């Protein structure tokens, strides 16, 4: 006879199918509800939930018969789920609440009083206990061990943690969806391939978790050594194929998940390629050197953080996958007439002109449903909507980034395009290099200036590495698109190869000090907006190491933080706060000299007492400061030139005339490469005769000279046309003669046309072309033709040559489009194909308002153009 006090146990076996999950839930409820009525209702519900998760895991990942056992003793419930795959270890993961998979073990960990896994020779048992009082003994899942037998090391170089997390989550979701589809009878891949894919995916996850556990946490970018099975390559190739099938099914909406975004797909391709390639004997390739195709390249390697948006000096807006704004910085809010806090939480369509909102929603939805980008990673000219209703011409550049827990964020940078004249740009100031430096050094901090006797041959870094660091620093500044980006690149180089953190302080034109850049080895260790920005002024009372460097002293070695001094100036106190908050056991601060003037200071610091900076590092930091100063000075000169040209370009963009029977629209977009400077122009004005003049032109070149020549041609053309009121071919001939007389080497293309006709019509376009691309005439029913008659040679070649004239009828509601070559010409494409593409685009927009037509042309054809773009469109409107 059995012991009546022995715990009661019930068990049942279930087949390896999805229907077993529901059966296991019913079995547990029946066992605990009927046979053990003393079990608290809360424990019964929790047990039913958790057994559902564990049986789901067993069905999906083990694929064998499952045995569920339930035991009750002293009101405590123990549930165990056994499968026949002991080799398939559990892979617990940190999964956020919104992750589509991986929650089962996390729920058990959260709700169970105790839990664990027992592995034998033929079976694996996962169990949990629930206690009536809710207490329990802390426990944790065993970490999965990588394969121990026949393992080979696969090294993944520069793995970004956030992107890996996002890609891993998506990989598990796709495999789960394929398994659920198979359970419903839709086998998208052969069942053995799906089993293999599940197996090797878990092996990869287990290997990465083990590598992360063994590697010290040094920021978000790590190099991991994975102990992969030596025969894993075929299984990894199968996994890659299975995921490709799943991606296609997701794009076709056959799975209940969205497809991956481009960067995640590229990352998985790299990851699988590294594993199979290295197992075959090839060398590792770092993720950071993967070719950067639009929307898919490595881009930012650190996890996205709202602080990054706030710290950016470029107008930046971030939105989530729900199309809601989650972060805005001051420059973006100012550009669009909002307070940043008022924009957070609103839909992104708040900032999109009404005529483009439908297009945006369609494109955004298409991106999520198809995973195929249209404008990710590309520079696109389009208008944004100011709060007061005005359109703000901008260039939009969107990239995706991942948060630390794997979500995707869309980060958009807005660069203003030439529009109305704006205030003059400030010229960065300098402090004369010969200004007397402060004599007093900090009383307790050891500061040593290199007087030329430093032992350069005994520097801490080897000579070759010193040269490499100097070359990399100079290249980073030279290749950066702007000063801020260049400083960030240099900061990342210095914190990777020399220091734990660094700071760059620069003089402004009004002799204030601006902390332009602070970079830390660990991107998550600081909020850069707390340190960057305008500093207290440099005064006679400023006697600290930064003040001395800004006055020309140094490089200075600091073997401890600058001392706290009651008489310290605000600048000295601010510098001390930087050291206190970031920590530093040694530092070097060096002046930045350019063209015999002090333009700022560079600070590099180490927090490791075992690796301090020494006097032997002074020559290196001094050389780095000189290279950095040269780059800063060149960037400022280049920016100053661009600003002058931009102001000139803005001043030359005309206000289109208001003509009762004509609809007019125009757009200008500088090259995405040269950004501001160009020789393209358009113009329109009403002559005393009542005819409306239409002009478009393009001066050879993409620099300040081209912009100046363009302004001169435009002014001369206006004067000649208004004064003479002659036919277009005569006006162009006179313009060519004046241009040849005054500017012998200037060449340009130009069309000068006149729209003639009374308000009620009919209308005709009388025009002559100096080597310019022909206007495009599009009727309101979408028929197009290029107006190729009236074409002559360029301006600047032969002013005595007779020029032809053309007369073309313009039907009511038809559109005549004038454009420059930047809109259509592309490398490796014939001009005929380019013009045919333009024809198709305009035909599809034939009945759209001209503003919509022009914006759509810039978006559809003008993204990433290497040339400037000017568009002028006219449409006759008969009286209502």
Q: How many CB atoms lie within 10 A of CB 30?
A: 13
Which of the 8 DSSP states describes residue 559? S
pLDDT for 1 equals 42
Instruction: Determine the Cα–Cα distance for residues 541 and 870; give it in Å rounded to an integer.
Output: 54
- How far apart CA 725 and CA 689 sit, in angstroms, is 8
Specify whether the CB–CB gap between 859 and 672 falls below 8 A. Answer: no
pTM: predicted TM-score of the whole model, two decimal places: 0.62
Classify residue 690 as left (phi > 0), alpha (psi -120 to 50) or beta.
left
| 326/345 Cα distance (integer angstroms) | 6
Same topology, domains 306-416 and 431-641? Answer is yes
Predicted pLDDT of residue 650 = 66
Annotate 2-56 with DSSP letters as a single string. Answer: --TTSPEEEEEEE-SSTHHHHHHHHHHHHHHHHS-TTS-HHHHHHHHHHHHHHHH
Say what the pLDDT of residue 76 is.
Answer: 84
What DSSP string describes 649-710?
HHHHPPPPP--TTEEEEEEEE--TTTTT---EEEEEEE-TTSPEEEEEEEES-SSHHHHHHH
Average pLDDT along the chain, 880 residues, taken 10 residues at a time: 60 87 89 70 83 84 87 85 81 56 71 86 88 68 57 86 85 87 86 88 86 65 85 94 93 87 87 93 80 57 74 82 90 89 90 88 84 77 89 86 81 72 37 38 36 37 75 80 84 88 88 87 66 83 84 83 69 86 88 84 88 87 88 81 66 84 90 63 92 92 72 88 91 89 78 92 93 94 93 86 92 95 85 92 92 90 80 90
CATH among 3.90.1170.50, 3.40.50.261, 3.10.129.10, 3.30.450.40 for 431-641: 3.30.450.40
pLDDT at 418: 58
pLDDT at residue 761, as a whole number: 83
3 state DSSP class of 347: strand
The CATH T-level fold of domain 653-876 is Phosphatase 2c; domain 1 (3.60.40)
pLDDT at 445: 38
**Cβ–Cβ under 8 Å, residues 876 and 755:** yes
Which superfamily, per CATH, for 306-416? PAS domain (3.30.450.20)
Cβ atoms within 10 Å, residue 392: 20
Tokens 């032997």: give the residue.
616
Domain residue limits, the chain: 8-130, 151-289, 306-416, 431-641, 653-876
Beta strands 776-778; 784-786: pairing state: antiparallel
| CATH number for the domain running over 8-130 | 3.30.565.10
């Amino acid at each position: 006879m059995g012991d009546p006090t022995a715990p009661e146990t019930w068990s049942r076996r279930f087949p390896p199918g999805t229907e077993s999950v529901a059966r296991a839930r019913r079995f547990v409820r029946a066992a605990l509800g009927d046979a053990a009525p003393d079990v608290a209702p809360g424990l019964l519900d929790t047990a039913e939930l958790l057994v559902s998760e564990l049986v789901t895991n067993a069905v999906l990942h083990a694929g064998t018969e499952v045995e569920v056992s339930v035991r009750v003793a002293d009101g405590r419930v123990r549930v165990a789920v056994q499968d026949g795959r002991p080799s398939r270890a559990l892979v617990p993961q940190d999964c956020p609440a919104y992750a589509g998979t991986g929650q089962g073990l996390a729920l058990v960990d959260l709700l169970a009083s105790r839990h664990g896994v027992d592995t034998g020779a033929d079976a694996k048992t996962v169990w949990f206990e629930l206690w009536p009082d809710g207490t329990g003994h802390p426990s944790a899942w065993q970490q999965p061990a990588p394969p121990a037998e026949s393992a080979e090391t696969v090294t993944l170089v520069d793995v970004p943690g956030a992107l890996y997390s996002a890609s891993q989550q998506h990989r598990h979701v796709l495999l789960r969806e394929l398994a659920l589809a198979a359970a419903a009878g839709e086998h998208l891949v052969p069942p053995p391939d799906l089993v293999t894919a599940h197996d090797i995916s878990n092996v990869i996850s287990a290997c990465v978790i083990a590598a992360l556990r063994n590697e010290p946490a040094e920021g978000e970018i790590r190099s991991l050594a994975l102990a992969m099975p030596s025969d894993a390559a075929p299984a990894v190739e199968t996994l890659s194929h299975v995921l490709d099938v799943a991606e296609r099914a997701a794009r076709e909406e056959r799975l209940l998940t969205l497809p991956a975004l481009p960067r995640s797909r590229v990352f998985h391709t790299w990851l699988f390629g590294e594993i199979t390639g290295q197992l075959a004997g090839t060398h590792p390739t770092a993720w950071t050197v993967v070719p950067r195709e639009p929307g898919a390249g490595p881009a930012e390697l650190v996890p996205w953080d709202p602080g990054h948006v706030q710290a950016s000096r470029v107008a930046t807006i971030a939105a989530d996958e729900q199309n809601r704004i989650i972060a805005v910085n001051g420059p973006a809010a100012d550009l669009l007439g909002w307070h940043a806090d008022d924009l957070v939480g609103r839909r992104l369509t708040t900032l999109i002109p009404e005529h483009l909102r439908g297009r945006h929603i369609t494109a955004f939805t298409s991106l999520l449903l198809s995973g195929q980008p249209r404008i990710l990673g590309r520079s696109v000219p389009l208008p944004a909507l100011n709060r007061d209703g005005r359109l703000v011409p901008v260039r939009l550049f969107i990239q995706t980034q991942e948060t630390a827990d794997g979500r995707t964020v869309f980060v958009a940078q807005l660069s203003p395009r030439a529009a109305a004249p704006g205030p003059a740009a400030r010229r960065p100031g300098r402090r004369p290099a010969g200004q007397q430096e402060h004599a007093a050094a900090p009383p307790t901090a050891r500061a040593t200036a290199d007087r030329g006797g430093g032992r350069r041959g005994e520097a801490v870094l080897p000579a070759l590495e010193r040269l490499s660091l100097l070359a990399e620093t100079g290249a980073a500044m030279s290749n950066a698109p702007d000063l801020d980006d260049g400083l960030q690149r240099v900061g990342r180089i210095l914190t990777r190869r020399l220091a734990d953190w660094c700071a760059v302080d620069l003089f402004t034109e009004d002799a204030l000090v601006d902390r332009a850049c602070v970079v830390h080895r660990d991107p998550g260790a600081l909020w850069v907006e707390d340190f960057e920005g305008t500093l207290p002024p440099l005064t006679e009372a400023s006697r600290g190491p930064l003040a001395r460097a800004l006055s020309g002293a140094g490089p200075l070695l600091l073997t401890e933080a600058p001392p706290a001094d009651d008489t310290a100036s605000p600048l000295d106190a601010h510098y001390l706060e930087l050291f206190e908050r970031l920590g530093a056991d040694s530092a070097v601060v060096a002046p930045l000299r350019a063209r015999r003037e002090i333009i700022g200071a560079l600070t590099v610091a180490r927090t490791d007492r075992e690796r301090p900076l020494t006097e032997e590092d002074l020559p290196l930091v001094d050389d780095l400061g000189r290279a950095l100063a040269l780059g800063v000075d060149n960037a400022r000169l280049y920016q100053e030139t661009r600003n002058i040209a931009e102001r000139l370009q803005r001043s030359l963009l005309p206000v289109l005339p208001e003509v009762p029977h004509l609809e007019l629209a125009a757009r200008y977009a500088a090259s995405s490469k040269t950004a501001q400077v160009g020789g393209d122009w358009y113009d329109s004005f009403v002559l005393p005769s009542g005819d409306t003049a239409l002009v478009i032109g393009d001066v050879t070149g993409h620099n300040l000279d081209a912009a100046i020549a363009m302004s001169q041609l435009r002014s001369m053309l206006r004067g000649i046309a208004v004064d003479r009121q002659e036919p277009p071919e005569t006006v162009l001939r006179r313009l060519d003669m004046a241009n040849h007389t005054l500017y012998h080497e200037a060449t340009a293309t130009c069309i000068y046309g006149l729209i003639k006709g009374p308000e009620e019509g009919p209308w005709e376009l009388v025009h002559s072309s100096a080597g310019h691309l022909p206007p495009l005439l599009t009727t309101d029913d979408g028929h197009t033709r290029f107006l190729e008659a009236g074409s002559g040679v360029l301006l600047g070649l032969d002013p005595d040559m007779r020029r032809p004239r053309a007369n073309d009828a313009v039907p009511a509601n038809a559109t005549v489009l004038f454009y420059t070559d930047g809109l259509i010409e592309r490398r490796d494409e014939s001009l005929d194909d380019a013009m045919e593409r333009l024809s198709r685009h305009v035909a599809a927009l034939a009945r759209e308002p001209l503003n919509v037509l022009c914006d759509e042309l810039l978006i559809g054809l003008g993204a990433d153009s290497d040339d400037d773009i000017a568009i002028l469109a006219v449409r006759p409107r008969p009286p209502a």
